[in-house]
Amino acid sequence: MSDTHAQSVAFVRDTMLPEQAPPVSEAGVVKWMRENLFPGPVNALLTILAIYFVYKIVAGALPWFWNGVWTTSSLAECREVLNGATGGCFSVLTERWNQLLFGFKYPSEQYWRPLSAFILLVVAVAPVLFFSLPRKMLIFTGLYPFLAYWLIWGGTILAPLFGLIGLVVAFMVFRRVEGRGFATAALAGLVTAVVVWWLGGLLAAALPGALALDPVPSRDMGGFMLNMILGTVCVSLSLPIGILLALGRQSHMPIIKWICVVFIEFIRGVPLITLLFVANVVLSYFFPPETNLDLIIRVIIMITAFASAYIAEVIRGGLAALPRGQYEAADSLGLDYAQSMRLIILPQALKISIPGIVNVAVGLFKDTTLVSVISMFDLVGMIRGPILASTEWNGVYWELWGFAVVTFFVVCYGISQYSQWLERQLQRDHH
Amino acid sequence: MAEQAQMQVSDEVAIAIENMNKWFGSFHVLRDINLTVNQGERIVIAGPSGSGKSTLIRCINALEEHQKGRIVVDGTLLSSDLKNIDKIRSEVGMVFQHFNLFPHLTILENCTLAPIWVRKIPKKEAEETAMHFLEKVKIPEQADKYPGQLSGGQQQRVAIARSLCMRPRIMLFDEPTSALDPEMIKEVLDTMVSLAEEGMTMLCVTHEMGFARQVANRVIFMDQGQIVEQNEPEEFFNNPQSDRTKLFLSQILGH
Ligand SMILES: Nc1ncnc2c1ncn2[C@@H]1O[C@H](COP(=O)(O)OP(=O)(O)O)[C@@H](O)[C@H]1O
Ligand SMILES: [Mg+2]
């Protein structure tokens, strides 16, 4: 056609062009290396340098692992066995394994209790993390905190049982009177819960032996178990509290809004370590003297307060990122505040906030090691205190701290991998 | 067409707005609005950008709060009482310029959410209703997709279906076709026309004058927060009275 209409501006295509394959270019390992490792002299030099460093590290570390000693009972014996050769003294890990996990006071014949609590934790958390699992499993998730408390702390099962019953009954009362306004219902629920707990407390005190495990006081908790307890409890408490704070900060009611703002800004302006010192010494003044609130509970309050302030800010970002049209569409369909938050706003805002929330959760989990500063014996506290101070293991730094690093890395890396998987999952679902 | 449309209008008052005023801060955005809409009436609201058209219809379902005057919707006085507001919102459907579908829910879930949670209709029944209206807007086959997978025209038709699932007595449209590519405008307008032919009470902010001629009983022209002129569509287009209306029509209809 170009021959016939060469001079004309008008143009009509009479045959459509067929689709063609892209040009074939060279491929393979050599091409990949040339493009990624040696694209120019400077890059080639950097590549060679990097390879050299990796080699030095591996060459230094491998014999250390390879010659490692696992079965002696003190550092001196390690030195004897090694006889001058490079090698790690990993015996400290095997010999003090139980102390690293459970602390040095938890009765050793009861280790099965925290262990089974840990295994059940996996079952309880699974349906929360993986939506494809049957929703019925969430019932167990709801029961788990009470079960875990009983397993780890022991004592009569009546105490956690009434804790649970109090919550359930309070919720039922709340639903009953919900029609008469939220505040009335919340108050009625609260009163019910307190009454049930009080009765339960009386009963538990009267029958301390009813289905009882040997009680273990909080100050005997230690090792990595303590980090896990603090991490799990504080993350699961700070997420809902953070959501409430974020919503409160958006509230149209000035009092609620200001309480939330002041709380968030205060907490964010204070280092966690000072809050922990406050928990250690000062907080008990705020409670009646006879309550003598457990140190572990005081610490949980502080870490939770700290993490929830940060989570609230992350979620506030997620809320702000939602277009106003979403609120308006929910309103125009007649959904009330609670419904539109729960069904429309929060699912989307939380999805946006996942990376930030995970960030806070990972940070919180690592920060649980700060309790070693107020003389609690978590994993770091155990290493720093009883183990390194013992005559047998004085001076085994690399192996112990390496163990702590690897343990925390495994957990935190796991969390961040999960969050990336979750993000991809949600992305695929919605587009 | 016009006669037929006339016949469907009843004497029952759907919306009564009396001396309504609204301010944004110190900016007097709506001034002394008086408007009565009967059940079955179809009203098109036109006017230059910023004249307060959106604000007016958003006052009707309390997305915006008015400061003076009375609004009675379907016999319920619009006040700050949350119960009344929720009642009115469940009787009044609204379609937005930017669709505002819920992106995290499927098309079907978008349509069943409010009936299930607000009307407390069983899920099964809500899904049947939803499929009925999705068929009506001609996209039942998209029910399990997410809004992000649909074209603009399809999304807007879903938004209309979503409102209809609440079985509203009144429908508000805020420039429903302004965000659409030209080839999709017709499919949305067709849906609105068929809705009008079934006798739905409709208030439409739109610049689609063809639509106004075809289905409206009345065209209202707003400027600077006031109703400047209202008339039957033929009269409105052929014989505009005020200078502002003439200017606006000449701009919007071309030369
Ligand atoms: N939330 C708001 N706050 C302050 N001013 C607003 C707000 N919404 C709209 N306005 C102003 O009110 C006027 C009318 O807006 P609107 O009703 O959206 O006009 P229209 O829909 O006719 O284009 C405009 O000048 C706009 O800038
Ligand atoms: Mg507008």
Indicate if ligand 1 lies below 6 Å from the C-beta of B51: yes
- Adjacency order of strands within the sheet including B13-24: B27-38, B13-24, B68-73, B76-77
Q: Hey, is B73 helix, strand or coil?
A: strand
Name the band, by pLDDT with cuts 50, 70 and 90, for residue B2: very low
Average pLDDT over residues A61-87: 85
> Which residues in chain B are contacts of A427 at CB distance < 8 A?
none
What's the confidence (pLDDT) of residue B1?
45
Per the model's pLDDT, the better-predicted residue between A193 and A294 turns out to be A193
Residue B153 Cα to ligand 2 midpoint, Å, equals 19
> Which residues in chain A are contacts of B162 at CB distance < 8 A?
333
Structure tokens at A335: 């959904």
Interface A-B: count of C-beta contacts within 8 A: 68
Task: Report whether pLDDT(A287) > 70.
Answer: no
Orientation of helix B123-136 relative to helix B107-117, angle to 10°:
130
* Chain-chain contact of B100 with A431 (C-beta, under 8 angstroms): no
Instruction: Decide: residue A47, CB within 10 A, 0-12 exposed, 13-18 middle, 19+ buried.
Output: middle
Task: Report whether pLDDT(A228) > 60.
Answer: yes
Task: Report whether pLDDT(A242) > 80.
Answer: yes
Task: Report whether pLDDT(A1) > 50.
Answer: no
Tell me how far CA of residue B151 lies from CA of A427, A429, B33, B101, B203, in angstroms: 19, 18, 37, 12, 25
The ipTM assigned to this model is 0.92
Nearest by CB to residue B63, choosing from A326, A331, A431, is: A331
What's the confidence (pLDDT) of residue A396?
87
Report whether A213 contacts A178 (CB < 8 A). no
> Which residues in chain B are contacts of A341 at CB distance < 8 A?
none
* Chain-chain contact of A334 with B96 (C-beta, under 8 angstroms): no
Q: How many CA atoms lie within 13 A of A297 on its CB side?
A: 10
What is the DSSP track for A281-339?
Answer: IIGGGGS-GGG---HHHHHHHHHHHHHHHHHHHHHHHHHHHS-HHHHHHHHHTT--HHH
A19-28, B122-131, B180-189 — most confident range? B122-131
A324 touches chain B (CB under 8 A): no
What's the confidence (pLDDT) of residue B135?
93
CA distance B197 to chain A (A): 23
Structure tokens at A249: 């900060």
Structure tokens at A56: 């030095």
Residue B159 Cα to ligand 2 midpoint, Å, equals 17
Average pLDDT over residues A355-375: 91
Closest residue of A to B98, CA-based?
A325
Name the band, by pLDDT with cuts 50, 70 and 90, for residue A279: confident
Indicate if ligand 1 lies below 6 Å from the C-beta of B49: yes
Tell me how far CA of residue A409 lies from CA of A187, A398, A401, A403, in angstroms: 44, 16, 12, 10
DSSP 8-state secondary structure symbol assigned to residue A343: I
Q: Lowest-pLDDT range, A167-171, A276-280, B230-234?
A: A276-280
Task: Report whether pLDDT(B255) > 60.
Answer: no
Residue A216 Cα to ligand 1 midpoint, Å, equals 65
What's the confidence (pLDDT) of residue B79?
84
What's the confidence (pLDDT) of residue A168?
92
Nearest by CB to residue B96, choosing from A329, A335, A430, is: A329
pLDDT in tens, B62-118: 999 999 999 999 888 988 788 889 889 989 999 999 999 999 999 999 999 999 999
Average pLDDT over residues A284-308: 80
Measured CA to CA, the distance from residue B62 to residue A336 in angstroms comes to: 13
Task: Report whether pLDDT(A2) > 70.
Answer: no
**pTM score:** 0.84
A430 touches chain B (CB under 8 A): yes
Name the band, by pLDDT with cuts 50, 70 and 90, for residue A91: confident
Task: Give the end-to-end CA distance of chain A in Å, rounded to a whole number.
Answer: 44
Give me the amino acid identity at A256: I
Q: Which atom of ligand 1 is nearest to the CA of B55?
A: 17
Average pLDDT over residues A335-359: 91
Residue A294 Cα to ligand 1 midpoint, Å, equals 57
Name the band, by pLDDT with cuts 50, 70 and 90, for residue A401: very high
Q: Which atom of ligand 1 is nearest to the CA of B58?
A: 17
Q: Which atom of ligand 1 is nearest to the CA of B47?
A: 22
Measured CA to CA, the distance from residue A21 to residue A291 in angstroms comes to: 77
Average pLDDT over residues A220-227: 91
- Residue identified by tokens 């010192």 is A277
* Chain-chain contact of A329 with B102 (C-beta, under 8 angstroms): yes
Measured CA to CA, the distance from residue A430 to residue A326 in angstroms comes to: 16
Q: Hey, is B165 helix, strand or coil?
A: coil
Name the band, by pLDDT with cuts 50, 70 and 90, for residue A64: confident
What's the confidence (pLDDT) of residue B70?
93
Closest residue of B to A342, CA-based?
B117
Structure tokens at A347: 């699912």
Structure tokens at A50: 């990097």
pLDDT in tens, B154-191: 999 999 999 999 999 999 999 999 999 988 999 999 99
Closest residue of B to A339, CA-based?
B117
CA distance B239 to chain A (A): 36
Measured at the alpha carbon of residue A104, what is the angle toward residues A102 and A106, in degrees to the nearest 5?
60
Strands B170-174 and B92-95: parallel
Residue B145 Cα to ligand 2 midpoint, Å, equals 29
Closest residue of B to A344, CA-based?
B102
Strands B218-223 and B226-231: antiparallel
Task: Report whether pLDDT(A10) > 70.
Answer: yes
* Chain-chain contact of B114 with A328 (C-beta, under 8 angstroms): no
CA distance A183 to chain B (A): 15
User: Quick one: which of B34, B28, B38, B29 has its CA closest to B5?
Assistant: B38
Measured CA to CA, the distance from residue B56 to residue B58 in angstroms comes to: 5
Measured CA to CA, the distance from residue B227 to residue B18 in angstroms comes to: 13
Average pLDDT over residues A292-320: 90
Q: Which atom of ligand 1 is nearest to the CA of B25?
A: 4
Instruction: Decide: residue A5, CB within 10 A, 0-12 exposed, 13-18 middle, 19+ buried.
Output: exposed
* Chain-chain contact of B117 with A343 (C-beta, under 8 angstroms): yes
What's the confidence (pLDDT) of residue A430?
60
Our mutation pick for probing the ligand 1 site, out of B21, B23, B24, counting the most ligand atoms within 8 A of Cβ, is B24
Q: How many helices (H) and strands (E) does chain B have?
A: 10, 10
Our mutation pick for probing the ligand 1 site, out of B29, B58, B248, counting the most ligand atoms within 8 A of Cβ, is B29
* Chain-chain contact of A430 with B103 (C-beta, under 8 angstroms): yes
Closest residue of A to B106, CA-based?
A430
Report whether B35 contacts B17 (CB < 8 A). yes
Identify the H or E element spanning B38.
Answer: strand B27-38
The distance between the two most distant Cα atoms of chain B, rounded to a whole number of Å, is: 55
Structure tokens at A191: 């009163």
For ligand 1, atom 5: residue with the closest CA:
B24
Question: Which residues of chain A from 344 to 363 reach within 8 Å of chain B, CB to CB?
Answer: 344, 347-348, 351
Task: Give the end-to-end CA distance of chain B in Å, rounded to a whole number.
Answer: 27
Measured CA to CA, the distance from residue A413 to residue A403 in angstroms comes to: 15
Per the model's pLDDT, the better-predicted residue between A26 and A21 turns out to be A21
